[in-house]
Structure 1
Amino acid sequence: MRRISIEILKPGMKLSLPIRDENHNLLLNRNVALTERYIQRLKNLGFQSIYIADPDLLDITHEDMISNRTRSMATKHLNYTYREIENIIRNFKNESIEKITTNLRSKSVKKAFNNTDIHHITVKVVDNIIDDVVSCAVLTGLNPLKTHDNYTFNHSIEVAIVSIMIGKKLKLNARQLRELATGCLLHDVGKVFIPAHILNKPDKLSFYEFELVKEHPVLGYEMLRDYIPIMPTQIAYQHHERQDGSGYPRGLIGYNSIKRSSLKNQIAFYGEIVAIADVYDALISDRPYRTGLMHDRVLDIIKNCSHSHFNAEIVDKFLSIVPRYPVGSTCEITSGKYTGYHGVVVYLDENNLNIPKIRLLYDTNENRIKPINIDLQKECDTHVELVES
């Protein structure tokens, strides 16, 4: 199994993971041979990369961190939630921010939200996600395929998974994990007020467009605060706040510590966790305006933003559970005997997450070779970096 750009897909290649739509319904199953029609359809749907089977990597599989049943339930719940919200706000979603806020506080809108079952269903979904994730020791580092149609739902689920893993490392109890995961699933709900053409814009946002996007934490908070407990609503409100006060919407600050301070204007603890998970998943994901960044590059960005943007102590916990080189990633040897060769990460030792085993498949001239397995724990002079396939 390896992930390759959709631009180099060829008829006859076989899928190693199934393709699903925004409702998690199956479009193409694993082991399906691609045709020109399938490839064009995948491009039209917005996929930028695909996991394909490779005859020299048949022993490499990807196990999702949550079951297919749980992911399907979570996706359908989020779809239902967003549809219910869209129905409630449809008459004022295009108004000014001030008018939207006024409408969200009106008795009629509050009554409409109270008549929904959003919180009850969210709790049920959250419990299933937590049950699946608590048995995992480390993050896989492999990201589900996203398109503009399913990005919000899949992103929310992945942010929940990553945050729960961080929460486990921080020894949060069951109640805290449930609050954390609930907030994660709904952290971007304020984006229902942002036009789709802005959220999916393939170019850089204008100043006006970015200012509009920056309103989603406030709108999400205003929408949720009367219907779910306060701690999860803080996640919707604060996941874009930064340690140095440069975030939004309130410019809150952090103290780079897991221990809480009694000082005012401090970012909520859950908000600091989700800030990391949100950026991590966003950067490794394909978007309309770019392909996902290389995983090692993303971890470097998060580490470099420790102290200034992200709580440094939480970043340390995060980096201890996420592999620098996920299984299935394409890499290039940058030093040692096989410098210039390309291969795929095939194994990770949970006790040495950043020192993988590699299977070399191409020489320095990009000619296919008989596979060569190397163990970086034994090849001390060999270093790798991830590259696009």
Structure 2
Amino acid sequence: MREITVLGLDAVLPGTVLAQDIISSQGKVLLAEGIELTARHIAQLRRWRIPSIEILSTGKKIADRNKFRVVYQHSVRIMNEAFETIRLFKTVPLDLLHELAHSHISSLINTHGIITHLKEIHRHCEYTFKHSVNVAIISGILGKWLGLPDTQLKELILAALMHDLGKAVIPLEILNKPGKLTDEEMAVVRSHSREGYQLLIKSKRISDDIKLGVLHHHERNDGSGYPLGLSDNQINYYAKIIAVVDTYDAMTAERVYRNRLTPFCAAETIEQQMFNKFDPEICLTFLNNVRDYLLYTKVMLSNGQVGEVVYLHGSSGTRPIVKLNDGSFLDLEKHKELSIVDVIGS
């Protein structure tokens, strides 16, 4: 049985899950039961003068979060096993990866508050395995935002899950090197997209689009990517989606050679590159949706001050208005000398 709580609108925060449809006076469904409310939804509710709503209780949200963590950690273990199989036997365990993509990952992308849950998981060790799972999850979410039909969505998730399989054949001393790579070592790392494609090329169980998604995920629209230097329409569509998500997740993860960057920094990079490196439509769809998860996050600024993000400018909101702990407001669009250096809560 579901646990339902009635909340006044002033107490509703982003991430709250709606327990009952919001119906207009004409009988139209304005917001559907089960939707995770964003800052935009809450603003709409205020405009509609709705005083209170029914939400799933905190206990249910905690249960959802715990279930997510269990399935997520199991998915990472399966991905670890898949990489070990490839490293030892030079063969891809397709049955294992199909099950992971179509069962575990598909269930995770439908978890309420999925982006928030991912933000709460600090990743340092097992980077490659967790990165593969994260890219599959977020690519699936982005595919849904883009309106991909179910068949293509499943293919996208599998391609994203396998996008870094080629790293399984790269020597671990290069893959896990904490310092700067030499030019020769960088060339070996860059070979992973081609190596992944070679591992899959003979399989008749997966489509050419999935294989090209793996091969092309480091290609860029302006021709500056690798391994083939393709541009624009030459690049596989799945690969274009994976490229955006891969960049976002890689930047926001802990690495052996640097601390994680903030989602604001990652979003700003994608915004800066969306008209030359990436597909603009994919970037705008990603940024317009991810921005809702950045509102009301607690952040630390480069001058040491702490506050809460209360307003996002533009499509990405990379330089928002922050309400500082002393009650004053700081617009980062007007203070270019300052930046967000850490997200410390939500």
Q: Per the shorter chain, which TM-score range?
A: 0.5 to 0.7
Amino acid at match of 1:214: R
Shift of 1:80: 1.5
Q: Is the 8 A contact 2:299 2:340 kept in 1?
A: yes
Tell me, what secondary structure is at the counterpart of 2:307? strand
The normalised TM-score by structure 2 is 0.68
Alignment-derived partner of residue 7 in structure 2: none
Tell me if 1:279 matches 2:252.
no
Amino acid at match of 1:124: E
Amino acid at match of 2:250: A
Tell me, what secondary structure is at the counterpart of 1:343? strand
Amino acid at match of 2:270: I
Shift of 1:327: 5.8
Q: Is the 8 A contact 2:84 2:168 kept in 1?
A: no
> In the superposition, relative to structure 1, how do residues 193 and 327 fare at CA in structure 2: closer, same or farther (>3 Å)?
farther
Q: Is the 8 A contact 2:139 2:156 kept in 1?
A: yes
Distance in 2, matches of 1:282 and 1:311, equals: 18
Tell me if 1:288 matches 2:256.
yes
Structure number with higher relative contact order (C-alpha < 8 Å, ≥ 6 residues apart): 1
Which string of whole-angstrom CA distances, capped at 9 and with x for unpartnered residues, describes residues 131-153 of structure 1? 23135477337162222x41011
Alignment-derived partner of residue 130 in structure 1: 106
Tell me if 1:145 matches 2:122.
yes
Alignment-derived partner of residue 343 in structure 1: 307
Tell me, what secondary structure is at the counterpart of 2:121? coil
Alignment-derived partner of residue 262 in structure 1: none
Alignment-derived partner of residue 79 in structure 1: 80
Shift of 1:328: 5.0
Q: 4+ runs of 1 displaced by more than 6 Å?
A: 60-63, 355-359, 374-377, 380-384
Distance in 2, matches of 1:381 and 1:248, equals: 38
Alignment-derived partner of residue 48 in structure 1: none
1:201-216 matches, cutoff 5 A? 201-216=177-192
Q: Is the 8 A contact 1:75 1:154 kept in 2?
A: yes
The normalised TM-score by structure 1 is 0.61
Q: Is the 8 A contact 2:301 2:339 kept in 1?
A: yes
Alignment-derived partner of residue 322 in structure 1: 290
Which string of whole-angstrom CA distances, capped at 9 and with x for unpartnered residues, describes residues 289-334 of structure 1? 1111122121111111112111111100110111373665423499
Q: Which runs of 5+ in 2 are unaligned?
A: 1-60
Tell me, what secondary structure is at the counterpart of 1:248? coil
Distance in 2, matches of 1:83 and 1:322, equals: 33
> In the superposition, relative to structure 1, how do residues 375 and 134 fare at CA in structure 2: closer, same or farther (>3 Å)?
farther
Distance in 1, matches of 2:311 and 2:298, equals: 12
Amino acid at match of 2:257: Y
Amino acid at match of 2:300: C
Q: Which runs of 5+ in 1 are unaligned?
A: 1-59, 90-112, 256-265, 335-339, 364-371
Alignment-derived partner of residue 88 in structure 1: 89
CA RMSD of aligned residues (A): 3.6
Alignment-derived partner of residue 226 in structure 1: 202
Alignment-derived partner of residue 340 in structure 2: 386
- What is the aligned-residue identity percentage? 30
Distance in 1, matches of 2:244 and 2:251, equals: 11
Question: 197-206 or 241-250, which moves further after superposition?
Answer: 197-206
Shift of 1:190: 0.5
Q: Is the 8 A contact 2:216 2:239 kept in 1?
A: yes
Which string of whole-angstrom CA distances, capped at 9 and with x for unpartnered residues, describes residues 114-173 of structure 1? xx7x222222222222223135477337162222x4101110111111111110011111
Q: Is the 8 A contact 1:142 1:327 kept in 2?
A: no
Alignment-derived partner of residue 217 in structure 2: 239
Which string of whole-angstrom CA distances, capped at 9 and with x for unpartnered residues, describes residues 308-366 of structure 1? 111111100110111373665423499xxxxx841355x899xx9959997755x6xxx
Amino acid at match of 1:311: D
How many equivalent pairs are there? 273
Distance in 1, matches of 2:142 and 2:295, equals: 18
Distance in 2, matches of 1:137 and 1:155, equals: 19
